[in-house]
Structure formats: structure tokens, C-alpha cells
Structure 1
Amino acid sequence: MNVYNAASDIANPGTGHKLADIPAHDPFVVADEITGTYYLYTGGGPRFNGMDRHGVLVYKSRDLANWEGPYVVFTIPDGAWANPKHGAWAPEVHAYGGRYYLFVTLHNNDRPLEGEGHGGFRLQWRGTAIAVSDSLEGPFELVKQDEPIPPEYHMTLDGTLYIDEEGGPWMVYCHEWVQTADGTIEAIRLKDDLTGRVSEPIHLFSGSEAPWDNGEHPDGGANSMYVTDGCQLYRTSGNRLVMLWSTYEAGSYVQTIARSVSGRLEGPWEQLEPLVFEDSGHGMLFQTFEGAWMLILHSPFKMPDSRCKLYEMTDTGDTFKVKAARPDLDGSRNNSAAS
């Protein structure tokens, strides 16, 4: 396999960026206490970043208001199952076992899957890959070259790491509505070194379980389609297991949240009131160095207008709720989408 040199793929780094200036989708923040640095990961590619191929970028900040970058931390290598020209979605980085693991959804539009897609889309290879590095700044290298971590015959995306009560690693991910019509959230048990899966998928819940009409109904409901997107799991101060995820309400992207009744990954899961409306979603939670909980998401959905927005959150013990939008940090003019 030819190894691609990410360091040669310049994305024109600079300083003094505001989040409102950075085209970004599916943001993920790591607050590194060792260096006192916030790392913001997002996908990158030729169109918006001047890269030769798709990959993952990182921006760095000390205060969440001023950012430098982007810096290339991963690009899709030649010889892997994914096509370097077909996109890199939803990157996130987790510390595990003394190293850093990048979860990123990759694609190969030239490798079709059997069956008929919904909504006019065809079925093709799409799934979350895992790459590893000794540094938050990369470079990250794939742990598995020949296929994604979830089943390759499923069209999946937005995989995230979850560690269960016994210390076992899982990937929780979305099974595409393009393949299932009613999108789902599923999970697979991972090998302890995160190099593959050791279980078949378990079903957590379906997109149609949202407590509002979030689907498209092209035939009066007979062929309804429901989106699941951007799953992230957290424990509250009251030890409640909650999951951020995104879907739609009346055609507009929405950031919502679910809670496990049993407190375990297997659920059952109950759907709570959405957190943020107005075409906003695929968010994640992190704590500042001062201990405050923050939600970062992107709004609106479509590029090139999509930008990261910040919300200060309250941990109620039972769930997380929006406390206040933070346009003073993200630089947005209109950040009033909270419920």
C-alpha cells in the first residue's frame, strides 16, 4: 500500500479565526488539560480547504474564542477500502489505552451494495473507520485497511466510542435511512485494541421513535423515511446514560437527546425534548478547563454556510439542558435557536 504523506497536504493554516469564520460540519472538541488546549476536529477536502484528497483537520484554541489552523491530521491513504476523493465525515478523537483513536466515516461510491436505496440514493460502501496516533495532532493511521469497522454490507455513519460498565469498548453508530428507510442507532462490541468488531450489531432505537413527526412521507406514509445522525453518549452527575443524536423536524435539522431507562447501553431508550432547533445539530458535549459543560454543533446543515455554535449547558443529574447560547465565544450574530 502506498502511504500518503499528510504533512505535504497544506490546508492554509492561520491564526485569529473565530468559529463563525470556519466552514465546518460535525464538530468534535477535545479539551487537553496537559497542554491547556482545545482541539476542534472537522472534515476537510479539496473544495473548502485546498487539500488534494479528503481527510481530517484540527484547529487549536486556548479560550474557545480564538482559533489557529487548520492542520491536517489524517488523509485517506491509497490502497485502503475508502476512496480518497469521496469524503471524510464526523471525525472524533478519543484517548484510549495510552493512545489517541480517530473515528471517521469514509466512503467508496464505486463499490455498490445490493438492494435499492431510498430517497433516490443508491447503496454503496460507507462506514466508520478507526485510525490511531500517539498525538492529538496526528498523523493518524488506519488500524484496518480492507473494510470499515461496522459490517461492510450495511451503510453506516457517525461511529462513536463508548466504554461500558465492565470496561469493554463499543462503537455506537447510525445505520443509514438510505438503506433502512427508518434509520436506526446500533452498536457493536469492539476488540480491546479497537482493530475490529467482535459482535453482531445490537439495535438501540429507530429514528421514527422521536416524539414528533420527523419523517418524509413521499407516498402518504407508506414509504416513510426517518434520519438518524450524530450519536454521542455521556453520563450525567446522577449517573444517567444519555445520548445526543440528530434528526429532522418539519424538514429542519434538530439536536435532540435520549436517555437509557436501564442506565445501560442496551436500553430501552426514551426520547426527551430536543435541545436546539432551527437547522442545528450533530453536536457533542465537552467540559471547559473551568468545569463548565458546553455543547458544540453546526448550523445550518448545508455547506458552505455551516458553522460551529456553542451553548453553555446544565447537568441536571437526569439529563443535560441548554443554559445559554454563547455568541460571545463562537462569533455568531444570531444564536437563539435553543429550546
Structure 2
Amino acid sequence: MSATAYLAATGSALPGPPVDNADLGRVLGVSEEWVDIFVGTRTRHFGWDLHTGQVRHTLADLCAQAGGAAVDAAGLDPVDIEFVLLATATPDTLLPTTASEVADRLGLMYLPAFQIQSGCSGAVQALDLGRTLIRGGARAGLVIGGDVTHRHLDARRDVARMPTEELVNYVLFGDGAGAAVLTAEPVAERVAIKGLLNRFTGLGRPAGQTVDWYGISDRHSERPMVVEDYKAIEESVPAMAREILWELLDQLEWTPDDLDFLLPPQLSGRMTERITEHLDVSGAKEVSCVAETGNTGNALVFQQLARLLPDLPTGGKALAIAVESSKWIKSGLGLEKV
């Protein structure tokens, strides 16, 4: 039984051409400058047409693309994969799970296919479970994260009447998926998961974000689908990110000077800048994607890893930090290429 799980390869998927702030601003009727200044995200991708609302890429489409790319990059065949884990806040359907649909599309059979309902910490939560399965005897597995926005955002709504806690979601989020192959032995990219933090910390605390769901009995409810307490997030996430940094460094017995790369939380371009300044790990190179991809939720850490792995040298160390504000979950990874 292996004591360590390894990242063998990653894959990523973004739908359609990038949507810049000028196009988004014209559709929503908001200022391009407001989006630039308030959010700091330059582009994002949508699986639906911004002008018509037509859905062109489902979550299963994106996750299958990312997962297939990761398996190919690892040099494995579908028969080598012994489990599938998929983290998302926006499944295509409640049943069948998107995890099962993706396994079907990738030709995976006779294996566990788990789905984790989660937010921005979902990639780490899925990797945590995957690492446990590897330690339990599995030789290789596929871990995926992704989210889509078409069920929760409607660009045809009158945004002038929309409260800020709803409007902010229209400029923060994008669609996408990412994936990683976990292995029991160091193959392909040979990046060891040296430490992992996955901790719920929201006892008695109001949620920073709520993503609602309507059933048959309340489908005409006036409740907003997505609400973001951006001020609470601005106040809390930088401090939480710093706590995660030091908790992981202590767990790994590393110092900030040991880090070659830092993967900070990816709420928005502007927030990531603020958090990175607060973390103050000047010797580590930042690996971020949110300014180009938008906040893709469960895909974010995988998309950062896809950017990291080609540049991580043998012996190189990296730390990834993710904060879920829905109910305040702290998570992160310590990585080293062996």
C-alpha cells in the first residue's frame, strides 16, 4: 500500500471563445470600467450563448473533455482507472450524477464513481478522498472538478433592478472543468501530494455564498438563485488564506523560502491580487488563472495545476490554497516533484 499519492497529469476544458468585459458589460447594461475596477477579471468562458441563452456545452461535456485529456497525458488507458471522483456545485441533473455520465463517456466501467457537492474547495476535497483510495490500494484514479452557470445566471434579466449581492455573480463566474490523474507510483509528471488540508470552519457562522435549488413545489419562488456576501468574503478570505498557508507549512515542516510556486485562492482577479499581497510569499512564483477564466468554482485548482506542472522542476515545491465561502471551508495542498 502506497503512503503517498502522486499527480501524474492534468487536463482542462473551457467552452467557447472568451467573453471580455466590454461584451459582458453591453449585455448586462453595466460599465466595462466597473467590471475592471471592482472584479479585475478580464475574460471568462460560458457554455451558453451570452446573447441567446442557448446551452452549447454541459458540465458533462466539459468534465469528459478535461478528464479524457488528463488520462491521455498520464499515458494510461481507461482500463487503468480504478475510480472517478467529480466535484461540482452545478450538476447537469441530480440523477444520474454527472460523475456517472462522465464515466460513461470515457468508457470507464466496473469502478466507483463518486460525486461531491462542493464549491471552491471541491478540488481539494476530491483529491483528499482520492488520496485515501490510493492509500487503500487503488493504483490510479481520475479526479475532476467543474461548474457551469447557465442554470443560475440569466443575462436577459433586468440587472438595473438586481441587488449587488446577485449582480456580482454575473461578473465573477465562468464555466469550465479541470481534472487530474492520481497514481500510487510516481509516473508522468511525478508530483507527490506531500500534505493536504480540508477543514470545515463555519460552525455558527452565516454563509458567505448561497446557491439555491428550486424543486417542483417552489419553482416560481422569488428567491434569488445565487447570493454572494462579497463584503464578508473580502474581510474573511485573505485572513483564512494566510491561516491555511501557515497550517500547511507547519504540517510539511517547510518555510516560505522553501516554496517555488504559490497557487492562491481564485475568487476574482482583484481579490487574488489582494490575497497574494496579504500572504507575502515574495520568493514564490504565483500561479493564477481567474483573470482569464473567471471563477470556475470546482475547476479552479485543477486549472492552476495544469499551469503549474509543466514548469515545476524536480525537487520543486508548491502550495495551493482554496477557501470555500459558502460555509467557510479551509483547504490546501503541498506538492513536490520527485
Q: TM-score category by the smaller chain? A: under 0.3
TM-score for the superposition, normalised by structure 1: 0.28
TM-score, normalising length from structure 2? 0.28
Higher helix share: 2
